[in-house]
Amino acid sequence: MSGAPTAASSGNHSLHLPTPTLDAESQSLLQSISAQGGYAYARMAALAVAGDQSAAEAARDMAWEQLHSGPWHSVLPVWRDAYSMACLHVAKFHFAAGEFGEALGALDMGLIMGGTLLRKDLHDSVLLVSSEARKKAKSLGDFKGEKLVPEVPVDVNEVLKILPLRSLTSGRVDKRSDLSMEGFLRDYFQTGTPVVITNCMAHWPARTKWNHLDYLTSVAGNRTVPVEVGKNYLCSDWKQELVTFSKFLERMRTNRSTSVEPTYLAQHPLFDQINELRDDICIPDYCFVGGGDLQSLNAWFGPAGTVTPLHHDPHHNILAQVVGKKYIRLYPSSLQDELYPYSETMLCNSSQVDLDNIDKNEFPKVVELEFMDCILEEGEMLYIPPKWWHYVRSLTMSFSVSFWWSNEAESSDS
């Protein structure tokens, strides 16, 4: 394809990273940065273009300081674009030196923390650097190495020891094989009822690829991703970190046999970031029921024992289980008051109730509430209607994809 980026060779045969948007917008962006007092940054950026790598790194540090000068919403957009610019400059030096991991790290930080102006350059550069990195790495063939999760059936008696009280004793979520679009619309979408859909993901390349450590390392190992560390987002010791995907995979493997705090890649738009993984999945046809739009496509990847506490979401949701198994408990939106939601605006969609350790004195209404639950197996999808409260626990190492969409009426209201 004529528009695809290529690694041009200069006179000294070093690799070159094309950045057409940066080239076209550089002077205008530097003037805007200078107008906000960024004269030192502009000087360092000019030196970086002239071939000074330490100046490129200094400019990146200056922009980073501006990104952390106050609340994120108060950071001027021009400084986010300045950070993207500096990340591209740094990546160019690493790429020219054949340091592909370092180049990808700089580009990912630009994508995660930078502005919108240079996103196409960042994305195209990632594709080019990733391609060169794969040429350098040896071929991994059919990825027949170590599997992340062995294919063994669930031992229900063992699982019940770690699940919340009364699990698998109340209403079970319907399981439907090869559910037709008409059946989904009539029996579940229009009635607002959860359902597990089986035999609907066999054609996904992810079903065979994502359970192989070698494959995930080859396509994503050098990429930088945000992860959550700690029990869950409602706990005081919870925090977020930026790590390479390889480091994240190693932490998960370590977590199998130690008491290290769980590390969880949760609700992250991984597929916007890593095209190879996006190509391994398909948007389910069910997500087009209602005539609305796909709102988000997120990854959930972590070790056994990771928990998403009881909460609800505003959109229709299909949770596709690609690798491993999860337990999910669901309560209808009509039970909101009995589930004691937080009063704070930021947490109003989360329950104060810890289902793993219910305080019966503080939350007496919860214990006898009726609910639906299921064990979601590899290759199955769970439809969760809007505003249904749900609790999720990984029973094994688990890689899931969530598809949020709105129906036509919701899209026109937003």
Specify the pLDDT at position 356: 94
CATH 3.40.50.2300 fits 156-413, yes or no: no
At residue 195, φ and ψ (nearest 5 deg) are: -155, 145
pLDDT of residue 1: 46
pLDDT in tens, the chain (414 residues): 445 555 544 333 568 999 999 999 999 999 999 999 999 999 999 999 999 999 999 999 999 999 999 888 899 999 999 999 999 999 999 999 999 999 999 999 999 999 999 999 999 999 999 988 887 765 444 555 678 898 888 899 999 999 999 999 989 999 999 999 999 999 999 999 999 999 999 999 999 999 998 899 989 999 999 998 876 666 666 788 999 999 999 888 776 544 457 889 998 889 988 989 999 999 999 999 988 789 999 999 999 999 999 999 999 999 999 999 999 999 999 999 999 999 887 788 999 999 999 999 999 989 899 999 999 999 999 999 999 999 999 999 999 999 999 876 665 554
Q: Is 265 helix (H, G, I), strand (E, B) or coil?
A: strand
Using DSSP bridges, classify how beta strands 195-198 and 381-384 pair: parallel, antiparallel or unpaired. Answer: antiparallel
CA nearest to 304, candidates 159, 164, 201, 402: 159
Residue pLDDT, tens place only, 54-71: 999 999 999 999 999 988
User: What ranges do the domains of the chain cover?
Assistant: 23-136, 156-413
Query: What backbone phi and psi angles, to 5 degrees, belong to 197?
Result: -110, 125
Tell me the C-alpha distance between 166 and 31, whole Å: 63
Q: Return the structure tokens found at 204.
A: 């996904």
Measured distance CA(284)–CA(281) in Å, rounded:
9
d(CA 60, CA 173): 51
Chain segment 97-111, per-residue pLDDT in tens: 999 999 999 999 999
Separation between Cα atoms, residue 404 and residue 103, nearest integer Å: 32
pTM of the model: 0.82
Helix axes 77-96, 119-136, angle to 10 degrees: 20
CB 324 within 8 A of CB 396: yes
Residues 263/251, Cβ–Cβ less than 8 Å: yes
CA atoms of 110 and 199, how far apart (whole Å): 39
Say how far apart CA 352 and CA 136 lie, in whole Å.
51
- Residue listed under structure tokens 């000019």: 46
| 271 φψ region: left (φ > 0), alpha (ψ -120 to 50), beta (else) | alpha
- Strand boundaries in 254-357, DSSP class E: 263-268, 294-302, 307-311, 316-323, 326-331
pLDDT number for residue 389: 98
The amino acid occupying position 358 is I
Task: Note the pLDDT of residue 414.
Answer: 46
State the pLDDT at residue 344: 82
Asked whether 252 and 397 are in contact (CB, 8 A), the reply is: yes
